Structure 1
Amino acid sequence: MAVNSPTHLAPPPLPSLSRSSFAFVSRIFLRPASPSAFPWRTLVSLRAQPPNTDGYASKQPLGLENSEPSFRSTGSPSSSSVIDFLTLCHRLKTTKRKGWINHGINGPESIADHMYRMALMSLIAGDLPGVNRERCIKIALVHDIAEAIVGDITPSDGVPKEEKSRRESAALHEMCQLLGGGMRAEEIKELWAEYENNSSLEANLVKDFDKVELILQAFEYEIEHGKVLDEFFHSTAGKFQTEVGKSWAAEVLTRRNSRLTNSHN
């Protein structure tokens, strides 16, 4: 999400798990982009605790240091690994998208809400030459999955793009270890990297859906909350890569412009 307020460069607190009756440890090193930027290294332990709705988790690292997830390098993940992974992913349902929080939206969408509608976009899009729709759906479902650990990092956090990518890559690796490795974990890594690198027709399309979903949500919040959220439209203007993305974005803009015109009459 694009937001304008600059802040000091500091790593956000990591989200924690949300089921109080279930605890496990997930460890991730947050290495600084350069010694001058972050002269320290933090080892974080995550444990189940109540969710936080501000886009981040509690700052207090809780954990059972002697508890380790079950790992497998091949085959299907164990039931234990699956539930560990899904419990961590619960944070995607409870972590609110911070761009909306920064704009005072009451009860904003979660990360999972955003990804779900992107997956629906991938499902209903017409057939396109050379595009695998099933792969688009998968990319949409995992493209923000690392935010279960790192949170929703926005431009207002002052985190360089390279550092944001590094944190998310490290978090994704940790999540895939939690899943137990194997084919499914490798597929998630591959799908995430494909989106991150914008390296396929499917990634191009899903990146467009990411922006379409953003401006559609902004338009809906303008209607619901009586706000003007121009910056989300400005930050995405001219950045659509596919004809589908351009067409859908144009439809959202047409409806918004019509509403703005009517409201001024």
Structure 2
Amino acid sequence: MPTADFLYEAGVLKRTTRTGWALARIANRESVADHSFRTALIAMTLAAMTGADPDRAATLALLHDLPEARLGDMHHLTRRYLDEPKPFRQVIDDQTAALPAPARDLIRTRAAEWLGQDTEEARLARDADILDSVLHVRESLADRPELRERWEEYLAAAVTTDAGRTLLAEIRATDPDDWWPRTVSG
């Protein structure tokens, strides 16, 4: 059953821990699926703010780590030593080979768009990927402000869109725990 197999494989991301946080000695190590979910929400929001296609941006963000179901999570230090686009394209082709043509073609097209980074939606989705990491760092390193700041600076340097930089400034100006009291009292 090719479609069911594909969906079971995608479920591996729920059990695949993001590895980069070990470098920061962060105990709260989310799964790749956890990361992809909020990244998709961020991409959708950024696209809506800029007039880009929110559905396409969310889809790109949702799919951006799909190859990690086969390759495992690779943090930035690991990726320095790999020819990333080639294995990612091959994995996507292999993962989708047995899917019905409309699904296969959509996923392959969106994966190529993500890797090419030549559309506004792809660039917004890339920024969303980074912004989710900033949020995670702020949530996880609140008790270690110097380390949090180093990671924030490292990640912030990779944000490339105006909308991404605007949201980055808002994230950095907002305490991770302030959302719920405002919600309850509002």
Same fold (TM over 0.5): yes
Which residue is 2:153 aligned to?
234
Contact 1:97–1:109 (Cα < 8 Å) also in 2: yes
Change (3 A) 1:140 1:219: same
2:131 aligned residue (209, 212, 226)? 212
Residue 84 in structure 1 maps to residue 5 in structure 2 = yes
Change (3 A) 1:189 1:94: same
Which residue is 2:22 aligned to?
101
Largest Rg, 1 or 2: 1
Q: Provide structure 1 residue ranges, at least 5 long, that are not aligned to the other structure.
A: 1-79, 257-265
Residue 168 in structure 1 maps to residue 108 in structure 2 = no
Q: 1:121-175, CA deviations, whole angstroms, 9 ceiling, x for partnerless residues? A: 233444423x1111111111101111111111123336535x2222211111110
Q: Provide structure 2 residue ranges, at least 5 long, that are not aligned to the other structure.
A: 176-186
Matches within 5 A, 1:70-81: 80-81=1-2
User: Residue 50 of structure 2 aligns to which amino acid in structure 1?
Assistant: L
Which residue is 2:184 aligned to?
none
Q: 1:51-77, CA deviations, whole angstroms, 9 ceiling, x for partnerless residues? A: xxxxxxxxxxxxxxxxxxxxxxxxxxx
Residue 128 in structure 1 maps to residue 50 in structure 2 = yes
Residue 190 in structure 1 maps to residue 112 in structure 2 = no
Which residue is 2:78 aligned to?
157
User: Residue 208 of structure 1 aligns to which amino acid in structure 2?
Assistant: D
Structure with the higher helix share, 1 or 2: 2
Matches within 5 A, 1:3-152: 80-125=1-46, 126-129=48-51, 131-152=52-73
SS class of match (1:229)? helix
Which residue is 1:5 aligned to?
none
Aligned-pair identity in percent equals: 24
Q: Which stretches of structure 1, 4 residues or longer, exceed 4 Å deviation after superposition?
A: none
SS class of match (2:50)? coil
- 1-structure distance, mates of 2:57, 2:125: 6
User: Residue 245 of structure 1 aligns to which amino acid in structure 2?
Assistant: G
- 2-structure distance, mates of 1:86, 1:207: 24
Change (3 A) 1:121 1:156: closer
Contact 1:123–1:137 (Cα < 8 Å) also in 2: yes
**TM-score, normalising length: structure 2:** 0.83
Q: Over the residues paired in the alignment, what is the CA RMSD in angstroms?
A: 2.1
Contact 1:214–1:232 (Cα < 8 Å) also in 2: no
